[in-house]
Structure 1
Amino acid sequence: MGTSKAMLKSIRSEIHSNMRENGYTLSKLSELSGVNPGHLSEILNSNPPRAITIGQLDAMAMVFGQPPGWLYELYPEECISEDRISRPRLVPYLVRCAELGRQDCIEAVVSKLLEKPKSVSILFTVAEELFQNGKKASSVPFYQFVIETEKDSHSELFVISQYRLFRAVQGANAEDNWKAIIRFEPYRNRLSENLQLDALLQLANACYTLQKWKDVEKYADELRTLAIAVYQDQLRKKDIGKTEERLDTERHLVVYYGQSSLLKGIALTMQEEYEEAEKHVHEYTDLSWFELLDEIGYKEVKKFNVWGRANLYGLGLKKGNLNLLSEYVDFLTEHPNEILPGMLTIIEAANQHGFCIDELLDHFSAHLSSFHDHQNPINLSQNFHFWDQKSEYDFRKGRTSQAIDELLLCLDFSDKMAYYHGFKRCITKFWKHLPHASNEQKDRYQAILEGRV
């Protein structure tokens, strides 16, 4: 019985076929592809043949005018046999499959790998390479494979995969962010200290965007405790001369300590516990005492000083001290990056105490019109709440049409962020002011609800 042509198809038969069609000799193909001629001969003619790397296969695909991912479905035979797996070839192959969206190839390989539990480390390596190269979305399925396969929930691979998965799905979608927090939260204390610092900061920031102030407090407290412990350990190592043991974290150590106080202060402020909040603001306003500062550390300390001064102005306004307003405006003019959070604080205080900021809104009108361009989740959250407060302000001032426009902007923001609490608030407020809405505003409202904008 003869074997069909499809059954005989292999990487080498396809390369030989393309060489014949293009009239390429071995030396010509070597010259065009950049593959060493000796290696190319061993790949195509030796018995058993030399294995081909995914980079070499991609190079030949370009020479032959074939699309990216050419013959990828046949490549696993270069990496996996019954008795062994070639990690050096398999990892780059899976990374390339992920980059090119070859989910069919990934699923075929993973099904084979999952039969060999020890090979879960290969999937973790692929996920880490994608994550570290900024391809977080592509890393997600691989981390999920690790989590589903690894039986020990205390293992380093399992816990880091849970953390990376939490980081990878963080974005503008409030519902997804909350689900990610719930899924990862039980594993935070199983991470190594360096990753735990990053994790607690990310958890606190994620809860900030959701306005879950008690949770922000909880993670800020945990972050402070850990940052102090790590700081004291670093000082001890410095004293005994262990300077080679460098702390491996995403940010400088002073950032974690400063952010713990900053986030705690914000959470307390939002719960109107102003006196307690002020104590924490003073803590991060002056971090010049912090040892182990390098050039980056000194820059971070300066940032905290700016944020601290801004937040002390904000606290004063929220306590009703309007004498600070002109001074605060001068400060914001000198520090334009602080205008968005600063204006949010000012307009909250204006609504709380009933004072007028019309001239100030005109002064910063150019900045206000560009706020909705921000894509960072924290900026998006501040953005939503600014325009929400702005609509409240304009309703109070009798500028009803303008206030409804701003309310619709908030509705659109909350829809795109999947911020359902905010979405419901906007709908309730719109219906309250429905008799004053124009036909154009009603049409826009309907378009947002139907997903047409």
Structure 2
Amino acid sequence: MGIQEMLRLSLRTEIERNLSQNGYTLSKLSELTGINSGTLSMMLNGNPPRPMTICQLDALANAFGHKPGWLYELYPEECLNEGKFSRPRVIPYLIRCAEIGRQDCIAMTASKLLDNPKNVSILFSVAEQLFENGKRKESIPFYQFVVDSEKDSYSNHFVMAQYRLFRAALGKNSEENWKAVIRFEPYRKRLPENYQLDALLHLANTCFALHQWRDVEKYADELREMALIIYEDELRKKQNKKTYEPVNTERHLVVYYGQGYLLKSAALEKQGLYEQAKQYVQGYADLSWLELLDETGYSEVRKFQLWAKANTYTLEILMGNVGVMDEYLYFLTKNPPEILPALITIIESANKHGFMVDHIMDRFSEEIKHFTHYRDPLNIDRNFRFRYGLAIYRFHNGQYLTGITETLQAMILSIVKNSEKDFLRCVTTFEAYRKYATDEQKQEYHQILEEVRNDEKRIVALSGSDLGTV
């Protein structure tokens, strides 16, 4: 008897043993599992036995009272046919292993699959299905198998695996996000054009959150160029073909073109190049001239119009033109999502040009309280910048206690986003004004430091705490 027959027999021996222990007939088992009696007979008694699907094995486990994953270590042989793996059986099996955490079975099966380099495509298919179903963490090992095993770094599987690993790696950790950018960056231009658009947008946004302004500029320039190339190609296709299928991208095509201008202007703004930034704001202020706009497209155009108006105010305020302040504040009351980035602008300008904004902080005090609810990396970073800028403003105006409170809040946010540079800024700022701190504030400061020394992960729990309001 060969190894394959022995293993198949052992799988079926366990099933037969459970069948006997529970006193089930095949008819009863069919009733409990929903598997046809004839199919059960062929699976258990056929010569050779009929291979079972992973769903059928799960149904048997449930009927016998076992946890999910029962006999999974014996299942891979069900996927073999004359020494070759059956895609319809092995792919669902590996997906189930990933879903229930059977890493041992994944490692064992992947090792066998990779004895034949052509089976890399199977692992890629598993990864893609997991990724598309929102199971990005579970997809990572399979994409890594592809990257480690595929010899051709220009192959579609290899490049897409690198892209998916980049996307899956993005999170709240600034250091890990930067590592993900560095790993993926060399492969971005090897992607199919439609994926290049998505990749460039994510690269630019990630670098924006990391304050890598020159990189944001680079990716924004590439994004505009690629979006325009694809747009012109889409126009030609629509004109020359009776049936037109739009390019497959995550977002509407106008988003990539507009974001290329928006991110470029934002990066220039962050470098203090306000006049240059104004020129790029005009690039997305009115995108209604673009063809191929459907209802979604026009909705995006209206968003860009709103952002252009907001960012025009932003640039004027940063340049010290407080004459537009009342108009700006009215605009914010009508557009609440713009309040956080706007307050960062106002605080930065107040610190630079020396005007008072206490009344503005009071006016938006309720909105400011809710900034602690943000959990996405971009708004966590924005909240940090606002809190730290507000701390400096308070110190400059002799409001030492509230300045220290804002410094402590900023310190916690710097830990949440894992920015050593920003954490040290907060520490040095606190130390510079330590003599003004109350005993309670000093105790809070030392508690944060102690948390960092003992267990950095525990500090995340503090991210939603309210250390004070303005």
The residue aligned with 1:3 is: none
Query: Please, which runs of 5 or more residues in structure 2 have no aligned partner?
Result: 1-5, 452-457, 460-470
Q: Quick one: distance in 1 between partners of 2:34 and 2:43? A: 14
Amino acid across the alignment from 2:46: S
Is 1:376 aligned to residue 381 of structure 2?
no
Amino acid across the alignment from 2:194: N
Could you give the per-residue CA deviations for residues 51-107 of structure 1, whole angstroms, max 9, x where no partner exists? 111111112222222111111111111113662111111111111111111111111
Task: Give 1:425 deviation, angstroms.
Answer: 1.3
Q: Quick one: distance in 2 between partners of 1:35 and 1:450? A: 59
Q: Quick one: distance in 1 between partners of 2:387 and 2:203? A: 25
Aligned length: 448
The residue aligned with 2:312 is: 312
SS in 1 for 2:361: helix
Amino acid across the alignment from 1:47: N
Amino acid across the alignment from 2:314: G
Q: Quick one: distance in 1 between partners of 2:326 and 2:150? A: 59
Q: Quick one: distance in 2 between partners of 1:32 and 1:349? A: 70
Amino acid across the alignment from 1:337: P
TM-score normalised over the length of structure 1: 0.96
Task: Give 1:241 deviation, angstroms.
Answer: 2.2
Matches within 5 A, 1:126-165: 126-165=126-165
The residue aligned with 2:329 is: 329
Tell me which moved more, 164-173 or 69-78: 69-78
The residue aligned with 2:87 is: 87
Could you give the per-residue CA deviations for residues 18-75 of structure 1, whole angstroms, max 9, x where no partner exists? 2222222111111121112221221111111111111111122222221111111111
The residue aligned with 1:78 is: 78
Please tell me whether the aligned partners of residues 404 and 430 of structure 2 are also in contact (alpha carbons under 8 angstroms): yes
Q: Quick one: distance in 2 between partners of 1:32 and 1:84? A: 32
Matches within 5 A, 1:169-188: 169-188=169-188
**Over aligned residues, Cα RMSD in angstroms?**
1.6
The residue aligned with 2:48 is: 48
Tell me which moved more, 333-342 or 249-258: 333-342
Please tell me whether the aligned partners of residues 227 and 253 of structure 1 are also in contact (alpha carbons under 8 angstroms): yes
Amino acid across the alignment from 2:142: F
Q: Quick one: distance in 2 between partners of 1:270 and 1:65? A: 61
Please tell me whether the aligned partners of residues 7 and 77 of structure 2 are also in contact (alpha carbons under 8 angstroms): no
Q: Quick one: distance in 2 between partners of 1:279 and 1:330? A: 24
Tell me which moved more, 243-252 or 288-297: 243-252
SS in 1 for 2:85: coil
Task: Give 1:202 deviation, angstroms.
Answer: 0.4
Relative distance call for 1:7 and 1:126 in structure 2 (3 A) is closer
Is 1:32 aligned to residue 67 of structure 2?
no
Is 1:287 aligned to residue 295 of structure 2?
no
Q: Quick one: distance in 2 between partners of 1:358 and 1:393? A: 10
The residue aligned with 2:405 is: 405
Amino acid across the alignment from 1:274: Y
Task: Give 1:7 deviation, angstroms.
Answer: 8.3
Query: Please, which runs of 5 or more residues in structure 1 have no aligned partner?
Result: 1-5
Matches within 5 A, 1:244-323: 244-323=244-323
The residue aligned with 1:116 is: 116
The residue aligned with 2:390 is: 390
Amino acid across the alignment from 1:397: N
The residue aligned with 1:353 is: 353
SS in 2 for 1:315: helix
Task: Give 1:336 deviation, angstroms.
Answer: 1.0
Please tell me whether the aligned partners of residues 8 and 78 of structure 2 are also in contact (alpha carbons under 8 angstroms): no
SS in 1 for 2:292: coil
Is 1:433 aligned to residue 421 of structure 2?
no
Task: Give 1:137 deviation, angstroms.
Answer: 0.9
Q: Quick one: distance in 1 between partners of 2:151 and 2:242? A: 36
Task: Give 1:354 deviation, angstroms.
Answer: 1.4
Q: Quick one: distance in 2 between partners of 1:56 and 1:450? A: 53
Amino acid across the alignment from 1:181: V
The residue aligned with 2:454 is: none
Amino acid across the alignment from 2:392: E
Q: Quick one: distance in 2 between partners of 1:124 and 1:271? A: 41
Could you give the per-residue CA deviations for residues 123-180 of structure 1, whole angstroms, max 9, x where no partner exists? 1111111111111111111111100000000000000000000000001100000000
Task: Give 1:200 deviation, angstroms.
Answer: 0.4
Amino acid across the alignment from 1:406: E
SS in 2 for 1:77: helix
Relative distance call for 1:396 and 1:257 in structure 2 (3 A) is same
The residue aligned with 2:421 is: 421
Please tell me whether the aligned partners of residues 173 and 418 of structure 2 are also in contact (alpha carbons under 8 angstroms): yes
Amino acid across the alignment from 1:351: N
Task: Give 1:290 deviation, angstroms.
Answer: 1.2
The residue aligned with 1:366 is: 366
Please tell me whether the aligned partners of residues 286 and 304 of structure 2 are also in contact (alpha carbons under 8 angstroms): yes
Task: Give 1:359 deviation, angstroms.
Answer: 1.6
Task: Give 1:192 deviation, angstroms.
Answer: 0.6
Please tell me whether the aligned partners of residues 169 and 177 of structure 1 are also in contact (alpha carbons under 8 angstroms): yes
Q: Quick one: distance in 1 between partners of 2:377 and 2:311? A: 20
Q: Quick one: distance in 2 between partners of 1:296 and 1:245? A: 16
Dislocated runs of 4+, deviation >3 Å: 6-9
Q: Quick one: distance in 2 between partners of 1:14 and 1:447? A: 56
TM-score normalised over the length of structure 2: 0.92
Please tell me whether the aligned partners of residues 237 and 243 of structure 1 are also in contact (alpha carbons under 8 angstroms): no
Could you give the per-residue CA deviations for residues 334-375 of structure 1, whole angstroms, max 9, x where no partner exists? 111111112111221221211111121111111111112111
Q: Quick one: distance in 2 between partners of 1:8 and 1:238? A: 56
